[in-house]
Amino acid sequence: MNPKYEAWTNSWGIGRGARAGGRVAPDISEQAGFRDDTLLERRQREIDAMDEETWLETLDPDIRNMFIAARRRVESRMPGDAGGNQVGEIDPLALETPLPDDDEIVQPDAPERAPDEDFGAALNRRAEARFRASRMAATDQATRIAVTEVRQNKLAETLGPDHPLVKGYGLRTIQTKRDSEKRAGMRIENPYSSAYHRDEPGAIHKATLDDMVTDKIGHPPVEGEVYYISDLSVITKMTELYGENWGNSGIGGHERRKHLIGDGIMAIQFVPPLVPAPPEGEEEDSARVIRRKKHTDMEHHLYSVGGFPSAYDIINAAHPSQLDPLRDVDPMPLDHSNSDKIAAVLHTPGVQTLETAIVSGHPHANIAAASVGMLEGLQKMLVKVDAGEEDFALLVRRNPVVAEAISEIGELCDLMQAQINDAPRLARLYDLLVDEVHLVLSVVKPYTAENIKGAATDGLTRKSPSLVSLLDDTEVEAESFLLASGMDAMSSAVVNALRCYPENRHLTLGDRKTKGDDRKLTADYFEVGDGLLKNKELFTQAGNIMVLTLNPSTPVTTFAENGPPSWDVSNVVGKIRDRFTDNPGTQDDPVIAILDITVEKPPGSGEDEELETLFRAIGKWLADGSLILTVNKSYQKYPSMGSGKILSGGATVIGCGPQSKAIRAGLRADEDAGGCLAKEESQLACHFMTQEEDLERTLLAKAAENATFVKTFFEGSEAQHQGDPDRRQKNYFGEGLPYLVIGGQGEAFDVEERVWGDAGKKSNKPAPMHMMWEMGVEQKMSFGFHTTSALPMPGGTRIALGQESKSDLVELLYAVGKLTYAPPVFNANRAAADEATRLRGDGCKEQFASWPDDLEHAVEHRDQDKTEDRARRDQATDKAVALVKAYALKNKNMHGPQFDWNAIEPTVRNAVAGHFANSFPNAKKRKKPAVYQKEMQKHTANAVETGIKALGPAMKQGVVVSDIEKIATDAASQAMPAAGAAVDSKLDTMGSDPERARFLADLLLKAGLLQPNDVKRAKEDQSVLSPKLAALTKAYEQLKANTDPKGKVERADVDDMTEAQLLRQQMALYGAATTPFLAAGDRKGDDPSIMHSKVERRWDDGKKPVPMDQNVETAFLPNIVASCALLSEAVFDDRRNARLCIAATDALMDIGMDGISNETCQALLTRRIGLLSEEPDAATLVAKLKQACESMPYPEGAATAFIDTLPGALLMDSADGAGFADRLADAALGQLPLDYLIEVRRAIAGGDDTHREPQPEKLAALDRLIKRRTSTD
């Protein structure tokens, strides 16, 4: 092994090594063989396997000596001690000055064998970080021990296992419902996590609180007996909104009792319970239904006022601790400084990569900016504390919990550097970063109540000069209040506004939908629709209080069918202006507008901020007191830019006059009752409000761009829904919003044998949503901004877009979107009715002209034992069955997977014969041929309708594999003309027949048109290959004809090529016609992570790489193929999708998996390894296993595939003893370091500490591999 490596170099001319010792990574940008974005890591592993002497020998002398010169230059500029030894920091000048060619320090004749370790430690540690990241992931995934569990155990060493900070670690990330084995990267688990923290408590919360309330009420609570709330203000708000008798509607009355459970938790007990258990042996009756409605109404009411306790309060109540994490822990040494420690983290290579991503246009620049901003804010906070009151500063400076959290932050930043291109893994690391910052803030508690309230107000004023002028130049005041959630803020604002009008308790809802003459009461927020609107009496007439939403989370409502949105700022201003035109407010009788602004869009180029547009338009009414504005915002999404949850929301009252003061006083009382200002959650919310400022809006803007990009996937072509309005899907999209709502309520498509639920069981959710969840879209009950998620809603399925690159989004959503329209599905009733209608029409009249004579002819030639009537019916049955057969064979695209006319024909015949037995023209009508013919046409059409319905079991009831394959081949067909032209041009540039022959042989091998042995023999003997050029060229022309989109249509009925075979040929041609490309400008710098994000595919015509057009099907074809393979796996969790998985994955490995996301790459390769038993022989099986494992983007991919996917039967003892099993172990794990194999062994051995069962066959093979490795090492 002696490849020629070139050093990555930075501005001062020194190679950037991958580890201490300064080993350099190869310059991939000039390598013709660069075929995927993991090649750098594979070559780095080769380097890592060398000893220092071997490695140095691979370098050119000038590069080797440059490292020596760099070391000596560094040493010469480091301060020395009395003994002449260098000590202290490296002089920055040594790292800024380029080395001259004639530098006298360079001594080519006396090279040293090992670069200085101190200098090497300062070099880029990307690959080293990548390895640590993979080790962490291996521990997390291979052993199924979540990274949060490891961190909790470590934290418990300082605080104890039951401390609330230990129990709450990992809780800040909203729970994803996706199976943990299918999640990307590190798993964040916490038993107290729930789908949506502000909703009703999860099962563990309910069980925990039930245990705590048992002592209060004397028995375990039964269903409908106890409901949990955060504080007494919830009861007041429930009474204000739903009347004194809330909980007492319907049958019977109930006494309400209150019990204090803990800080921030109260229990409301209903005596008797709202849902009493029926007497023993009795069935539920109508009274039981009414009582259950009382129970569900109660939950809705609590939901509408944001009344549920915080999950963090539940943990604090269940695990009380007297240990103060600031004062009751052993301090670090006297010379330790946490502010210095965080400052050092900000100068690590990991953070430097994040900073480079921010300024380089990296796809994940916004996540990087959020991370850096959060940490820079942490440094500012600790520096400020250091400069404050000395005793407190000393406690913070030397606190071990803070110190350990900062160490974890540094480690996480290194790992983020390694996974900067991997959206889901980067997101998980960011979430963990938030948890560590939360630990620091929970210990230090740096933010005061004034800081928190001021930050909320500043969030408004910095976006609106008009608001600043109002506050400075008029009597208008603004005061912000911290409440439990956005819905708590909304309900508190409504309640305090209603108190201003005790005689006119009515609300005007801004979001309405017009449908004909019906003014439907609706809203663009779940919380309003499912909460406040439950009390319709508040909306029976227009009131002085307006409830408005800006940029909703469910962009469905419009003023009119297909009309403009009712949620943008111009419409909000218009609604307020219309109100003042019709019925202006006064200071004594003001209009009170309550506006939710949780989602704020950033302004476009040359546009004003939305809030500036708002306040400029309504300022005059605020100034004269005729309008009071309460602005509500949920802060829950700030902690992790949309994916994290804390219980926190804000309401800011802006106005003047007595009513404004009254509203502020009421909200102040609610704020005090909730006690949110004193909770640890508020510290995190304030940190993001003050340090991140408006970064969330930058994330939202990128997500909105992604929504615009993916919406076309779900729109379908005109040909797909023209003339068929039932197939036109209702999609909703708001320009500038990060959401896409697809499908209407109840609109779904089905699949053959659903993989979710029991076999044949129908799902009550739209199938596209299930498929997205299976493919990697987060399954969350909330929207986020850094990873894409989907959830059910009344309008269908809401997709909330994240920060993924376009290629990632194609993989996640393209196939699902196209499948929404693509598959023609057999609808027995509609198809039968349509064909019957056609047969009854005048257009088919001639078709039945001969039928009277044909039936009489059958009578004349009937068997002696058959009556005349029976002969006519049998003849009619034969003809009708023939019509059904013609229909079935004509509609091949509606055939089920097992369609066989001969098998289904008896069922069809029985159905048709049964119809004619009950319905046939009577004898009188035979005397009038014209009438008889018309009657036969009508009766036969009805019989055919019955026969087509009988086809049902043989026809396609839902999606089949070929539908998904066809999405891929249809997309590929759009790239084939350009691909063929590029390959033709490349052949023309080749200088010899052997060169052309070798190229064509490789192409045809990948297309499946040549066998591997033929190609190998031909390559070894050019005398064999050259004469074959004509035959190879002919085969190549056939390949182009096969993949020609026009030819595809012509071939449909004349050959047996499957869609999977066609896809293999298309991808082989595409791969030969394209090449990965890294522009010269993107090669500058010293961070391969950033470079990898800039790699793109271009046409390769043999002359120079030519940019592709931006057509999705051409530019992202490998991602589309990957998307279809993933979707097939999601829909068909059995052998039926094997051919697509094998064809797609092998094709992608052949052309190189550059541009395919790491998660998709790993998922496809893992599935491919699970299908190895399909291979024809042992040699091919081993070779394919080795290829798949070496193509894995992360080492744990190969490890977990070996552990989970590789069929264990393949490793059982065979005729050659353990030889074959050893070959498999070598192929799968041979490239992994020895200590990594130890980690894999731990997982395979199983046990409680790994949450896995032992696998003895694999363990034996791995032990032999480890023994071989240790004996050679």
Q: What are phi and psi of 740, to 5 degrees?
A: -140, 125
939 or 1231: which carries more pLDDT confidence? Answer: 939
Q: What would the mean pLDDT of 506-529 be, rounded to a whole number?
A: 54
CB 798 within 8 A of CB 790: yes
Per-residue pLDDT tens digits for 1221-1244:
899 999 998 877 777 788 788 888
Q: In this structure, how many other beta carbons lie within 10 angstroms of the beta carbon of residue 230?
A: 26
Element (H, E) at 152: helix 147-159
CA distance 1261 to 1213: 10
Q: What would the mean pLDDT of 762-781 be, rounded to a whole number?
A: 68
Cα 1169–chain centre separation: 24
CA distance 924 to 935: 12
- Percentage of residues in the chain with pLDDT exceeding 70? 71
Q: What would the mean pLDDT of 747-771 be, rounded to a whole number?
A: 46
The residue among 630, 623, 691, 700 whose CA lies nearest residue 662 is 630
CA distance 1006 to 180: 36
Q: In this structure, how many other beta carbons lie within 10 angstroms of the beta carbon of residue 568?
A: 19
pLDDT band at 973 (very low <50, low <70, confident <90, very high): very high
Checking if the pLDDT of 1030 tops 60, the result is yes
pTM of the model: 0.79
Burial class (CB in 10 A: 0-12, 13-18, 19+), 901: middle
Q: What would the mean pLDDT of 1188-1209 be, rounded to a whole number?
A: 82
Checking if the pLDDT of 342 tops 90, the result is yes
**Residue-wise DSSP of 819-887:** HHHS-----HHHHHHHHHHHHHSGGGTGGGTTHHHHHHHHHHT--TTS-HHHHHHHHHHHHHHHHHHHH
Across all residues in the chain, what is the average pLDDT?
Answer: 77
How is the beta sheet containing 739-742 ordered, strand by strand? 731-732, 739-742, 796-800, 789-793, 778-779
Topology given in CATH for the domain delimited by 476-637+647-672: Aspartate Aminotransferase; domain 2 (3.40.640)
pLDDT at 565: 63
254 or 763: which carries more pLDDT confidence? Answer: 254
Weakest-pLDDT range from 342-346, 1076-1080, 1245-1249: 1076-1080
pLDDT band at 32 (very low <50, low <70, confident <90, very high): very low
253-274 as b/e: b if 16+ CB within 10 A: ebeeeebebeebbbbbbbeebb
pLDDT band at 88 (very low <50, low <70, confident <90, very high): very low
450 or 513: which carries more pLDDT confidence? Answer: 450
Q: In this structure, how many other beta carbons lie within 10 angstroms of the beta carbon of residue 161?
A: 12
Per-residue pLDDT tens digits for 105-118:
434 443 333 332 32
912 or 932: which carries more pLDDT confidence? Answer: 912
**Residue-wise DSSP of 730-747:** -EE--TT-SEEEES-TT-
Checking if the pLDDT of 821 tops 80, the result is no
CB 348 within 8 A of CB 410: yes
Checking if the pLDDT of 344 tops 60, the result is yes
pLDDT at 437: 93
**Residue 1155, token pair as written in the block:** 């541009």
Per-residue pLDDT tens digits for 132-186:
555 666 667 666 678 888 899 999 999 999 999 999 898 877 666 666 556 666 7
**Residue 615, token pair as written in the block:** 């306040």
Per-residue pLDDT tens digits for 587-599:
889 999 999 887 8
CA distance 1231 to 1237: 10
15 or 1033: which carries more pLDDT confidence? Answer: 1033
∠ at Cα 127 (1084, 1205), nearest 5°? 125
Q: What would the mean pLDDT of 461-470 be, rounded to a whole number?
A: 93
CA distance 934 to 1162: 64
Checking if the pLDDT of 746 tops 70, the result is no
pLDDT band at 377 (very low <50, low <70, confident <90, very high): very high
CA distance 277 to 255: 18
∠ at Cα 578 (572, 579), nearest 5°? 95
Would strands 649-655 and 796-800 be described as parallel, antiparallel, or unpaired?
unpaired
Rg (CA), the chain: 35
Three state DSSP letters for 1184-1225: HHHHHHHCCCCHHHHHHHHHHHCCHHHHCCECCECHHHHHHH
Q: In this structure, how many other beta carbons lie within 10 angstroms of the beta carbon of residue 1029?
A: 16
Q: What would the mean pLDDT of 752-767 be, rounded to a whole number?
A: 40
Q: What would the mean pLDDT of 714-733 be, rounded to a whole number?
A: 58
CB 557 within 8 A of CB 513: yes
What is each CA distance from 725 to 516, 729, 742, in whole angstroms? 19, 8, 16
Please tell me what DSSP assigns to residue 751. Answer: B
pLDDT at 1021: 56
606: left (phi over 0), alpha (psi -120 to 50) or beta: left
Checking if the pLDDT of 1013 tops 50, the result is yes
What is each CA distance from 843 to 190, 838, 880, 932, 937, in whole angstroms? 68, 8, 17, 18, 11
What is each CA distance from 1092 to 127, 429, 1072, in whole angstroms? 13, 19, 21
pLDDT at 1088: 53
State which amino acid sits at residue 657.
Answer: G
What are the domain boundaries of the chain? 28-124, 131-190+324-446, 203-309, 476-637+647-672, 703-821, 828-954
pLDDT at 766: 42
CA distance 552 to 599: 7
Ranked by mean pLDDT, which of 141-150, 397-406, 477-486, 877-886 comes out on top? 397-406
Checking if the pLDDT of 980 tops 90, the result is yes
Checking if the pLDDT of 467 tops 50, the result is yes
pLDDT at 226: 92
pLDDT band at 292 (very low <50, low <70, confident <90, very high): confident
Per-residue pLDDT tens digits for 1035-1082:
899 999 999 887 654 444 435 678 888 999 999 999 999 987 766 565
77-95 as b/e: b if 16+ CB within 10 A: ebeeeeeeeeeeebeeebb
pLDDT band at 288 (very low <50, low <70, confident <90, very high): low
Checking if the pLDDT of 520 tops 80, the result is no
pLDDT band at 717 (very low <50, low <70, confident <90, very high): low
